[in-house]
Amino acid sequence: PSFKLREVASMYFTMIAVFLVILVVALQGSVPRGRKPLDPEGLLELSWNVSYPKQAVHFQLLTRDLQFGLLFGMSDRGEFENADLAVLWSDGHNSYFGDAWSDAKGQLHMDSQQDYQLLGAWRTPEGFYLLFRRAFSTCDPKDYLIEDGTVHLIYGILEKPVRSLQAINISAIHRGLQRVQLLKPNITIPELPSDMKTREITVPDIVIPSQVTTYWCYMVELPDGFPKHHIIMYEPVITAGNEALVHHMEVFQCAAKFDSFPHYNGPCDSKPEELNYCRHVLAAWAMGAQAFYYPEEAGLAFGGPGSSRYLRLEIHYHNPLVFKGRHDSSGIRLYYTATLRRFDAGIMELGLVYTPVMAIPPGEEAFILTGYCTDKCTQLALPAAGIRIFASQLHTHLAGRKVVTVLSRDGRERQVVNADSHYSPHFQEIRMLKEVVAVFPGDELITTCTYNTEDRNQTTVGGFSILEEMCVNYVHYYPLTQLELCKSAVDPGYLHRYFNLVNRFNDEEVCMCPQVSVPQQFLSVPWNKFNRDVLKSLYGFAPISMHCNKSSAVRFPVCRASQPKP
C-alpha cells in the first residue's frame, strides 16, 4: 500500500473515529504484553500484543520524530544481514510500507510474500504511530520464526528520502537492536492479599557513569529482627527518562553464615570481596519484562531465623551514547506478606558445575555441553509428591548461544522445561513457564548449552570469570526442599586420559606435570580436527561426576566419585 504523508495527517480525525473499531477486530483474543523503548534517546517506542488463538503478534511503533521512514524487524542475533523487516520509506512525495528482507550483504529486497500486514497509521501530538500484524509462523523461508524465547529486534531510522526500497543503505543509517521475549505466557494474575507490604530496593540517586557498560552494586540492610515473610510479587522501578539505559537488575540475598557485610555503593568491579557471598537471587528483571508474580500457593521466603538481613542490588546500565551527568534511582519493588502461603518457594541450580574440566575449543560455531541432574539424585532428594517448577532463568557467559532443559522419565524425554534458541547473555530474566512442570523422584533434568567461540583463539574453560563459561538453569519451584544444586561435570579421570591421548597422537606435547592446572593443559592442546572430535566424543560418553548438594553445600550421600552418564 502507498499513501501520501499529507493524507495521513488529514486522515487523523477520521482515524480517531475508526481506530477503536480496527483495534477491537485486530486484537480479539489478545493479551497486553509489553512496551519497550528501542533507541537510547527514546525516540522510537515499541508496544505489542499477542493473540494466541490467532497465532499472531500486533506491533505498534511510535516514532516521536518521523523524518523519511523507519525499519523494524527481527534476525537471528540482531544482525542487519539476513533479517526479516517491515519498512516504511518516503521518496519525499509518497510514502510506502512493505515486508522486506535483507541478504547476506545487507541489501534490501521486497518480499514476494507480504506477511507484515499494515493495520493503521496516524499522527498525534505525541508522534507518528504505525500499527501492523505478523503471524508467528508464515511458511516463508525469508521470514523469521517467532518463538517463545529471546527475540532480537532491530530498527533503523531514515533521515533522508530514498527513491526506492533497494536504494536504502542500511550500513549508513542510524540503527540499533533490542532484545525482548515477545511471547510471554498467558498467566492469570493471582489476587494480592490485603496485608501486603512493599519495599523498594533502589540506588540512592547515583550518577550513571559516562561509559557504555556499567554494573553498579548497592548494599541494603533489612531491619534487625525482620521476621519471615513471603515475597509474592516484584516489579521494576525505573527513573523517568532512564528507561533506555537501565538494561537489567537483580536483587541478591547474602549468605546467612556472616554476621555483617560492608555497606557499599559503587561499581561492581570495585566491590569488597565479601559481597561475592551475596548470590542468592531474590528478584531479577530485564528490559522489556513485566511484573513477576508467584503462584497463589507459594511465596519466596526472606527474613526470619537463618536468613541474612543483607541484600545486594546490582544494576546493569547500557549507555551507548555515553550520556553524562544522568542521575538514577532505579531498582526493584518487592511485594511481600506476613501471611505465609502454603508452600515456601525454592531456587535450584541445574546444569554444569563451575569447573575447567568442561571446556570449549576456540573457533567453534556450535559446541555443545550438557549437564545432568540424575535420577539417583532426585530419587533421594525430592519428596514423594514431587516438586512443581513454575519459572526459570537460563544463564551462560559471553559464548552462550542456546540453552534448553528437558525433563526425562524412565529413559525418555517427556517435556521441555525451558528453551531459548536465540539466547543472549545480555538479556537474562526470570521467565514464567507456560505450564507448571511436575518433577518426581527418579526423574532426570538435562540442561544443554550451545556455544560459539569463532572469535577466540584460546580454549574457553568453565568457571566464574566472564571470559570463562557457565551452563545453568535456575529453576523456581515449590515446595522448598534441601536440594539446592543438582549439576554434573565430566569425570576428571577421563579428561586425564584425553590429555594422554593427545600426547600420543600429536607432535606438540601437552604437559601432564602434577603442578600444571587443567586450564594450562587445555591451553597447550593443538586444536586440530582430531583433538576437537575426540573431546566432543569424550563429553558424549564419559562417566560424570555428580554434584547433588544441600543448601549447606553438603552433598547427598548418593553422590559418588563417578557415575555412568544417563
pLDDT value of residue 553: 64
Distance between start and end Cα atoms, the chain: 57
Q: What is the mean pLDDT of residues 400-417?
A: 96
pLDDT value of residue 76: 95
The fraction of the chain above a pLDDT of 90, given in percent, is 70
* pLDDT for residue 1 is more than 50: no
Domain boundaries, the chain: 1-28, 34-180, 196-341, 347-563
Q: Quick one: cell of 247?
A: 538494561
Fold of 196-341: Jelly Rolls (2.60.120)
* pLDDT for residue 465 is more than 90: no
pLDDT value of residue 203: 97
List, for residues 508-527, the tens digit of each pLDDT value.
677 666 678 999 999 989 99
pLDDT value of residue 23: 44
Instruction: For residue 77, name the pLDDT band (cuts at 50, 70, 90).
Output: very high
Instruction: For residue 276, name the pLDDT band (cuts at 50, 70, 90).
Output: confident
* pLDDT for residue 15 is more than 50: no
Looking at every residue in the chain, the average pLDDT score rounds to 89
Q: CA–CA separation, 45 vs 60, rounded Å?
A: 8
Same fold, 196-341 and 347-563: yes
List, for residues 95-153, the tens digit of each pLDDT value.
999 999 999 999 999 999 999 999 999 999 999 999 999 999 999 999 999 999 999 99
Fold of 347-563: Jelly Rolls (2.60.120)
3-state secondary structure at position 500: helix
Unique residue bearing C-alpha cell 523469521: 144
The fraction of the chain above a pLDDT of 70, given in percent, is 92
Q: Quick one: cell of 461?
A: 574453560
Q: What is the mean pLDDT of residues 327-343?
A: 96
7 CB contacts (<8 Å, ≥6 apart)? none
Q: CA–CA separation, 530 vs 537, rounded Å?
A: 11
* pLDDT for residue 532 is more than 70: yes
Q: What is the mean pLDDT of residues 42-65?
A: 94
pLDDT value of residue 21: 37
| Cα 206 to the center of its chain, rounded Å | 26
Model pTM? Answer: 0.84
Contact 316, 361 (CB under 8 A): no
Q: What is the mean pLDDT of residues 224-252?
A: 91
Side chain identity at residue 79, one-letter code: E
* pLDDT for residue 403 is more than 70: yes
In words, the CATH class of domain 34-180 is mainly beta
Contact 5, 96 (CB under 8 A): no
List phi, psi (to 5°) of 529. Answer: -60, -40
Range 261-292 burial, b when 16+ CB lie within 10 A, else e? beebeeebeebeebbebbebebbbbbbbbbeb
Instruction: For residue 237, name the pLDDT band (cuts at 50, 70, 90).
Output: very high
Which residues are identified as catalytic?
A: 215, 395
Side chain identity at residue 367, one-letter code: F
Unique residue bearing C-alpha cell 586425564: 496
User: How would you class 224 by CB atoms within 10 Å of its CB: exposed for 0-12, middle for 13-18, buried for 19 or more?
Assistant: exposed
List, for residues 178-221, the tens digit of each pLDDT value.
999 999 888 888 888 999 999 999 999 999 999 988 999 999 99
pLDDT value of residue 9: 39
* pLDDT for residue 501 is more than 60: yes
Instruction: For residue 420, name the pLDDT band (cuts at 50, 70, 90).
Output: very high
